Structure 1
Amino acid sequence: MTVVEELHEAHGATFEERGGRRVVRDYGRPAVAHRAVRNGAGIIEMGYGVVVVEGDDRVAFVDNTVSNRVPDDDGEGVYALLLDPQGRVETDMYVYNAGERLLCFTPPDRAEPLADDWAEKVFVQDVSVREASGEFGIFGVHGPKSTEKVASVLKNAAAPEPAMTFDRGVVGGEGVTVIANDGLTGDEGYEVVCTADAAERVFDTLLTQGSGAAPFGYATWESLTAEAGTPLFETELSGRLPNVLGVRNAVDFEKGCFVGQEVVSKVENRGQPSSRLVGLAVEELPAAGDAVLAGDDEVGEVTRATEGPSVGSPIALAVVEYDLDPSATLSVRVGVDDGGDDGAETVEATRETLPFYEGTAVSARVPTYLEDEASEAE
């Protein structure tokens, strides 16, 4: 659950459950908060699960499990995936080398099963694993003025760069770690990590001191990341092959293959995925799972849809057939319920190049496909 619930309530927050964790949905007007972030800076409490890995063999142990290279050096991090034997995503995570331990930030409902799974796999290595979500407060600072915001309250350190590096300093008299993130909202951003008992002081300082910043919740997070073309675990990544989503930043294809990554590497090197993630501009807001049509043929499905305040129209992310003609006339079947297609209608959809919004950063997760890179090189 949130570690600063009373402060959120004081700002008018409403809450929801995500992955078994209570998080802020919004503070009353998600679209207004969205524009505030795009015009300056905003603060969100991130609902991560946290797994701590310690011991002399911690780096090698996690590196042998996930899809990307775990950094050896303190102060560096990486985005990575845990894949099942079929190469499908079981969870995504950020892995940070924090000196004597690794901190793994996961979707909230994946931390406990991940910690249990890893603990069972420790044999002769010097490794200890534990779930530690309740020990930390983690606050995202996003927007084109997020560097200014962080610099205005951070003592004994400067805002770190480049992305996926971090430094330690002081905010509101409390020790914090500040991470330069990978642009998930389409603008520059940071995450400020502190102990749970310091979280109220840190959150209050971020909101009320230094340069201005507005609080926002996960309803706004959804629209910011959708505009940025960022696939998220719950809606796009879970259960799919990384190649389908184009999240090539999460996979080191030169690593020695473990079971799940071997499947991904074969797709990368010997063929193409069956589907790809695309953006759609739509006349009417669809729902996740609504069918994408090319003429009368069903060619994919919507994974997430939202109003796009920065775009000025409804937008959607959808998984469609990989070789679908980019010029095909598309529509989305909306209004389908459990009783069948009665009342369903089709609304026009236009395929858009991701991201929808171009800000001060490009999300590292914007879909990238090997075939597209080859075409650009030519």
Structure 2
Amino acid sequence: MPTSAINSKNAAAIHAAREGVAVCDRSHWGRIRVSNDEHLRFLHNQSTNDFQSLKPGEGCDTVMVTSTARTIDLVTGYVFNDAVLLLVSPHRRAFLMEWLDRYIFFADKVTLTDVTDETATLSLIGPQSDAIVEKLGAGSLVGQPYGNHILVDGIIFAVGSGLANPGYTLIFPVAEKQKLWNQILDHGALELSDRAWEMLRILQGRPVPDLELTDDYNPLEVGLWQTVSFNKGCYIGQETIARLNTYKGVKQYLWGIRLNAPAEPGTVITLGDEKVGKLTSYTETPDGHFGLGYIRSKAGGVGLKVEVGTSSGEIVAVPFVSHEYP
């Protein structure tokens, strides 16, 4: 068992995220408030999911894409009566503020507000998260669909951990952070470090900007089918995505890769003498070496044996993404 990349504290927290409950500080993620009379229509037109079908108290994941459907960020949106709160990837908030502002025209009734610095975000991760949410007064959320959320004592409680694990995400005024953090630890959650989060997100296949989400890939190649509405009509990148779906034109897919040795992101993946893809992320885990990478669809999928530089790998499914229409 490799030990150099993971200490006993991280190993315990990862186990808790799988079997019990862990808590991760995601306050460094960006939070953007989209408000005014046309906020739902605006987001509906700027991303892949169907915001206009959502009611206050509901939410969804969506992908911000370019006009040619290349991926910018995977974003979670929470719908309120007068606004949508977007949880965006670290290092993407300034870019997305500028990107979205570019599409607000003079007559549009849309206001963008970066509320990152005045708020904080914690995620409860694991099957025992329900018990803590109940103790914090948000038990009515247990069992509700992904993205559903309620406000309790100034804290937004939302279904979804940010990973494939069950859990909840809490967004609240930054002044309450230490108090709430201590309460959650007192209720039995283990702290999940940023490094352990990164390990879990690679093991589960959650894509991130600059690695899996770049100008080289579209949402269907990533496997983010649950974020794409094929019925909502026109939006940025819609024509490309619709064409890929209609004509089964997805040429590569994101997969997990179980490796026998370390490998560097960016390394070419080969099958014999043929280049079939590229490694995008790598981590050492308690169970061995693991990576994410794009593989040409014609080369194969689960069970395929490949070479990643000097390492050997086997393609495996990862739970965060899917390669067929849900």
TM-score normalised to structure 1 length: 0.78
Shift of the alpha carbon at 1:58?
A: 1.2
What are structure 1's unaligned runs of at least 5 residues? 1-25, 334-345, 356-364, 374-378
Provide Cα deviations, 1:152-177, integer angstroms capped at 9, x if missing partner: 2336855361211011224xxxx211
Q: Hey, what does 2:202 align to over in structure 1?
A: 226
| Alignment pair present for 1:136 and 2:100 | no
Q: Hey, what does 2:11 align to over in structure 1?
A: 31
1:116 to 98, 104, 107: 98
Q: Hey, what does 1:292 align to over in structure 2?
A: 269
Q: Hey, what does 1:8 align to over in structure 2?
A: none
Kept in 2, the 8 Å contact 1:180–1:190? The answer is yes
| Alignment pair present for 1:153 and 2:129 | no
| Alignment pair present for 1:368 and 2:323 | yes
Q: Secondary structure at the match of 1:113?
A: helix
Kept in 1, the 8 Å contact 2:59–2:78? The answer is yes
Kept in 1, the 8 Å contact 2:162–2:169? The answer is no
Equivalent residues in 2 for 1:127-206 (5 A)?
A: 127-154=110-137, 157-159=140-142, 161-170=144-153, 175-181=154-160, 184-206=162-184
Kept in 2, the 8 Å contact 1:43–1:141? The answer is yes
CA pair 328-92 structure 1, distance change in 2 beyond 3 A: closer
Provide Cα deviations, 1:103-153, integer angstroms capped at 9, x if missing partner: 111113222232233334232122211211112111000012111222223
Kept in 2, the 8 Å contact 1:184–1:228? The answer is no
CA pair 206-264 structure 1, distance change in 2 beyond 3 A: same
Q: Secondary structure at the match of 1:52?
A: strand
State the distance in 2 between where 1:187 and 1:118 align. 30
Kept in 2, the 8 Å contact 1:303–1:316? The answer is yes
Q: Hey, what does 2:253 align to over in structure 1?
A: 276
What are structure 2's unaligned runs of at least 5 residues? 1-5
Q: Hey, what does 1:250 align to over in structure 2?
A: 227
| Alignment pair present for 1:348 and 2:312 | yes
State the distance in 2 between where 1:241 and 1:352 align. 21
Shift of the alpha carbon at 1:89?
A: 1.0
Q: Secondary structure at the match of 2:180?
A: helix
CA pair 296-27 structure 1, distance change in 2 beyond 3 A: closer
Q: Hey, what does 1:21 align to over in structure 2?
A: none
Q: Hey, what does 1:19 align to over in structure 2?
A: none
Shift of the alpha carbon at 1:29?
A: 4.0
CA pair 352-116 structure 1, distance change in 2 beyond 3 A: closer
Higher relative contact order (CA 8 A, sep 6+): 2
TM-score normalised to structure 2 length: 0.89
| Alignment pair present for 1:48 and 2:29 | yes
2:55 to 52, 59, 73: 73
Identical pairs, percent: 21
Q: Secondary structure at the match of 1:256?
A: coil
Show structure 1 runs of 4+ deviating over 3 A.
26-29, 155-160, 183-186, 325-329
Kept in 2, the 8 Å contact 1:178–1:191? The answer is yes
